[in-house]
Amino acid sequence: MAHFVKNCWLASTAALAVLVISGTATAQQQVGSPEPTAVAPALVSSQHTGTINGHVMIDSGRSLEGVKVLLSQAGASGPAHQATTDDNGEFRFDDLHDGIYTVVGAVAHGYFISRQPTNAIEPDLHYLGDSINIKLVKGGVITGKVLDARGDAVVGVSVRSVRTRDLEGLPPDGDLETAGQTDDRGIYRIYGLKAGIYVVEAGGSRRDLRVDSYKNDSPTYYPSETRATAREISVQAGGETSSIDIRYRGDAGHSVSGNIIGPAALSPALISVMLLYSGSDTVAAFPSPSSNNDNRAFSFSGVADGEYELLIRVNNPSLGQGFIATRAVTMKGADIVGLKISPAPLGSVTGQIQVDPSVTVAKDSKCKMRHVLTTETVMLIARKSEASQSKPDRMLPNKISGSPNEKGQFAFHNLGEGIYRLEARLPNDAWYVKSITLSAGPSKSQQSGSSKTIDVARLGFSLKPGENLGNLFITLAYGAAGIQGRTAVSRKADSPQRVSLHLVPAEREFEDDPLHYAEVPVSGDGSFSIGNLPPGRYWMISRPVFDSVTNSVIKPLAWDPNERAKLRDEAKPGSPQLELQPCQRVTEYVLP
C-alpha cells in the first residue's frame, strides 16, 4: 500500500512538473509579438457525405444477420435510415450527410438492445466514420391462457404486456407495450420483453386500430381485474413467466366523447388523442375511428370506472405551431359526452450559433487541431431546468435536441412553458461554448429603447405558454482544453458506488458562469475524461453520488447558484488547482 502511494505521489508530482513547464512555455510564446499569419477558426456547413458502419451480436457472442438497424440524424425529421446486417452481422450506411446520428432501433424478433447503465439516459452520438457495436439481449416471455366466465377459450383477443417499471424500481424508458394474440386454445405468448415489472391486459381498443370483436370492451387485467387492482408480474431477460391466465370479463364500460375546438382545430392538422390512466404514462384506450373522417371529434368506448387523463396533441402546419391539452376525466358508471377541449399553444425558440471572432490562434501554436467546425455536427439540447407543475407539460419531453442548419440557425418547436437550459455537444474537442445569450427586443422591456441581453447560460431562458422566442445566440470559441486521468479507487466497503468529478473555476470573473463548471462521472476503474473546456484555472473536486440515477430532469449542479457556492466552498481550502491553456491536453492526471 505504501509503495503504491509513493509511486502515486511521484507520478503526480512529475505530472504537475510537466504541466508547469509546458504551461510557462506556452505563456512565454503568447507574450511575444503576435505571429503575422493568424488562423481564424470558422464555422461552416459541411458538404461531406460519409459512412457509418457496425456490427450486431447477441449476448452469447454470436453475430446476428438479418437485423434491421435504424439510424436517425439527431433533430432531423423524416424516416430513419435503415440497413440490414449481412451474414457476418455487419451493417453499413453510405452516403450520409455530415451530422450527428443515433441508433434509434435494432430490430430482431425476440431481442432488444442492451444498454450500459451509464448510458441509460442519453443515447450514444455518432459521427461519420464511426463504427458502432450493438449488443442485443434475448427478451423475456409472458405466456398464459385467456378464458371467459364459462371456462371457454377466448380466441383471437389481443393481449398486451405493459411495463410499469424496471427491476430496480425505476420508471421504464421506452418500449412500454408489447402485444400478442390468443390462438384457438386461448393461449397467448408475448416474447422479446425487456426485464421489468409488468401488468398484462386483454381486450379493449388496440393501438393498431384493427377491428376485432373485443375492441369495444373494457380491458381485463391479469388475473381478472381492472387496472386499479391488476396484479404485477416480474419478467427476466431470457426467462419465461408462464401460467399468467386471465379470466376475461368483457365488461362493456362506458364511452367518453367530445370535440376539439379553438385555433388548434383549424384544419389541416395532425391530431393525436389518447386516454391515459391518471398519473401514469400508460394508455387506457385509443379513440374509435371517426365515422365521418372529422378528426376534431373523438370518442372512446369500453372505459371502465376510474380516473383518467385525456391527452390531446395537435400539430398544425398551417399555423406552424403545436398545441396540447389534458383534461382529467372521472368515469362513474355513465357515458361522458359533449366534452369541449381547446388545446393551448406550445412555444418555440429560434437562434443562431456563431464563432467568437476574437479568439484567433497563432499559426504555430499548440493548437494544431481542427479549426473548422461543421454546423450540422453540433448538437444542441434544450432541457427543462425545473419540472413544471402544470399537467399538460408533464406529457412533454423534458429534453429536445437538434442540429443547426447549414446557416447555423436552429429552432426548437413544441415546447411547454417553463425555464430551459441549453447545452451543446461538440463533435471535436478543439471547441468550447463561450456564451449563450438571448437578446430581447426593445418593446415591453424595463429599459425602454435599448435591447436587453440575457445570459442564458447562467439563467436559462423562460418561455410562457405559446411564446415564440427568437434571437438566441450560442457563441463557440476555438481552443478548448481537455483533461484525462484517474482518481484513486477506494476499496473500502462503505465507499460510494459512483463518484462524479467537478471542475470549479478558480477565477473570480467566472465563478457564476456555469459554462466554466464541468461535471463528469468517474468510471468503475477510476478513469475520467473531460473535454471542451474553456481555458482557465480550475479546482478539481470529487463528489460521491449516493442516489441512483433517475429518469427525471438531470440537472448539472452548476445550474443552481446555491450549488455553485457550495462547490466553491468545498474547493477552496487546498484543493489541487489546474491551469489550462488554450488547446492544452492533460493526460495521465491523477487525482488523490
- Is the CB of residue 322 less than 8 Å from the CB of residue 346? yes
Distance CA(303)–CA(229), nearest Å, equals 15
Q: The cell 457525405 sits on which residue?
A: 49
Which letter does DSSP use for residue 80 in this model? P
How would you list the strands of the sheet with 81-84, edge to edge?
A: 81-84, 68-73, 101-107
Q: Give the nearer residue to other proteins in terms of CB position, either 30 or 88.
A: 88
* Nearest in space to 201 (alpha carbons), one of 220, 181, 177: 220
Q: Give the nearer residue to other proteins in terms of CB position, either 206 or 391.
A: 206
Q: Give the nearer residue to other proteins in terms of CB position, either 33 or 293.
A: 293
Q: Give the nearer residue to other proteins in terms of CB position, either 87 or 494.
A: 87
Q: Give the nearer residue to other proteins in terms of CB position, either 7 or 84.
A: 84
Q: Give the nearer residue to other proteins in terms of CB position, either 93 or 432.
A: 93
Q: What is the number of alpha carbons within 13 Å of residue 233 lying toward its C-beta? A: 25
Distance CA(472)–CA(350), nearest Å, equals 6
At closest approach, how far in Å is the CB of 179 from other proteins?
10
At closest approach, how far in Å is the CB of 203 from other proteins?
13
At closest approach, how far in Å is the CB of 23 from other proteins?
49
Strand partners, 554: none
Strand partners, 507: none
At closest approach, how far in Å is the CB of 231 from other proteins?
24
Q: Give the nearer residue to other proteins in terms of CB position, either 184 or 494.
A: 184
20 phi, psi to nearest 5 deg = -60, -45
Distance CA(405)–CA(413), nearest Å, equals 15
Question: Is residue 268 reached through a cis peptide bond, with omega within 30 degrees of 0 on the bond before it?
Answer: yes
Q: Give the nearer residue to other proteins in terms of CB position, either 3 or 210.
A: 210
At closest approach, how far in Å is the CB of 47 from other proteins?
22
Question: Hey, what's the cell of 407?
Answer: 446557416
Q: Give the nearer residue to other proteins in terms of CB position, either 183 or 588.
A: 183
Residues making contact with other proteins (CB under 8 A): 65, 83-84, 86-88, 90-92, 94, 108-110, 138-139, 141, 153, 155-156, 180-181, 183-184, 189, 191-192, 209-213, 288-291, 293
Q: Give the nearer residue to other proteins in terms of CB position, either 288 or 414.
A: 288
At closest approach, how far in Å is the CB of 301 from other proteins?
11
H or E element in which residue 144 lies: strand 140-147
Cα dihedral 566, 567, 570, 572 sign? negative
- Bridge-based pairing of strands 336-341 and 254-260 is parallel
- Phi/psi region, residue 36 (left: phi>0; alpha: psi -120 to 50; beta: rest), is alpha
At closest approach, how far in Å is the CB of 155 from other proteins?
5
At closest approach, how far in Å is the CB of 133 from other proteins?
17
DSSP string, 236-273: -TT-EE----EE------EEEEEEE-SGGGSSS-EEEE
DSSP string, 147-183: E-TTS-B--S-EEEEEEEE-TTSPPP-S--EEEEE--
In terms of C-beta density within 10 A (0-12 exposed, 13-18 middle, 19 or more buried), how is residue 196 classed? buried
At closest approach, how far in Å is the CB of 307 from other proteins?
28
At closest approach, how far in Å is the CB of 187 from other proteins?
9
Q: Give the nearer residue to other proteins in terms of CB position, either 1 or 211.
A: 211
Q: Give the nearer residue to other proteins in terms of CB position, either 27 or 209.
A: 209
At closest approach, how far in Å is the CB of 448 from other proteins?
56
Distance CA(242)–CA(221), nearest Å, equals 15
At closest approach, how far in Å is the CB of 417 from other proteins?
35
Distance CA(140)–CA(128), nearest Å, equals 35
Strand partners, 368: none
